[in-house]
Amino acid sequence: MKLRMISVLGGLDKDSTPESIRRVDIQPGEVVAVVGPTGSGKTQLISDIEQYTDGQPPAERTILINGLEPGSDGPDKNFRHLMAEVSQKMNFVIDSSVQSFLHRHASVRGVVDVDRIVADVFELTNELAGEPISMTDNLTLLSGGQARALMVADVALISNAPVVLIDEIENAGIDRLKALKILKGQGKIVLVVTHDLMLTLMADRRIVMKNGGMCKLHRRTRDEMRIAGELAAIEADISKLRDLVRSGDSIEQSKNNKEKTVLWQKFCSTAHLTSAGL
């Protein structure tokens, strides 16, 4: 069945008050951020979508697939298995090499050119991960960030899951902005639970959660798109400085290099810092 739309019908918040947002329709190719304070119900909303709920407690929301309810002619509970989840808490427990795992998964998914797609997934993984992995590495020995990078690449290039649920990958130790761009470019429905400003501003819309309920629905504005671009440029500079420090360099050493000096001055200007103040 081709996914045309997922609909979230509002239920109740923690005080059993009807949610302010009564319906949200999400189509393929759209990224929706779920934001709000800790404990506001963000993860519960994602869980309801994953479980394809039918007015069940605690939130009593109903999830529609292509406008159809669970149990109706068409989609059923098996549809939720076509949803892929990536979170900061994921780790592999399969005793297998990276190469063997990717080959098996690509074969199961019916990929025609298995070797090529496995190579592409491996390359993308190392673009996202802070520390590169090798094809012979055992899955169980990967760090948390490496495992998440591998799963994002796998979901983007091998999995045919039309819906990707992301839970706070800003703390997962991967290039989160590139990961979201890649998933967005695959034409999937992407829902991302986040506290991260950049991830929020990259989303087409955002659902604001409060007291366990959906209280607001915002569409990204042009000003927010502009601000996101400016922040991305700033973050790229900060990332370069971070890599310098991680590689064993120091700020004073970096200032002896013209290119690195410019980078440092840009960072100080942006952050309203001075070298003396450090």
Report the pLDDT averaged over residues 60-65: 93
Task: For the chain, give the mean pLDDT.
Answer: 84
User: Taking a C-beta distance cutoff of 8 angstroms, is the pair 59, 44 a contact?
Assistant: yes
Supply the range of the domain harboring residue 260. Answer: 228-271
Question: Each residue of 34-47: pLDDT tens digit?
Answer: 999 999 999 999 99
Report the pLDDT averaged over residues 274-278: 37
- Per-residue confidence (pLDDT) for residue 30, from 0 to 100: 94
Question: Each residue of 221-251: pLDDT tens digit?
Answer: 999 999 999 988 888 888 777 777 877 877 6
Tally of domains in the chain? 2
User: Is residue 216 domain-shared with residue 263, that is, in the same domain?
Assistant: no
User: For the whole model, what pTM was predicted?
Assistant: 0.82
Q: How far is CA 71 from CA 53, 194, 230, in A?
A: 11, 31, 47
- Per-residue confidence (pLDDT) for residue 275, from 0 to 100: 39
Q: What is the CATH number of the domain that holds 39?
A: 3.40.50.300
What percent of the chain clears pLDDT 70, i.e. is strictly above it? 83
Distance CA 60, CA 30 (A): 25
User: Is residue 41 domain-shared with residue 21, that is, in the same domain?
Assistant: yes
User: Is residue 204 domain-shared with residue 237, that is, in the same domain?
Assistant: no
Question: Each residue of 4-31: pLDDT tens digit?
Answer: 999 999 999 999 999 999 999 999 999 9
pLDDT band of residue 276 (cuts 50, 70, 90) is: very low
User: Is residue 65 domain-shared with residue 152, that is, in the same domain?
Assistant: yes
- Asked, for residue 247, whether it belongs to a domain, the answer is yes
Report the pLDDT averaged over residues 198-202: 92
User: Is residue 147 domain-shared with residue 258, that is, in the same domain?
Assistant: no
Report the pLDDT averaged over residues 59-87: 74
Looking at 187, 202, 220, the residue that finishes a domain is: 220
Distance CA 129, CA 147 (A): 9
Q: Which residue has the higher pLDDT, 77 or 205?
A: 205
Q: Is the pLDDT of residue 274 over 50?
A: no
B/e letters for 93-108, b = 16+ CB within 10 Å, e = fewer, are eeeeebebbbbebbee
Q: Is the pLDDT of residue 192 over 90?
A: yes
Report the pLDDT averaged over residues 248-260: 62
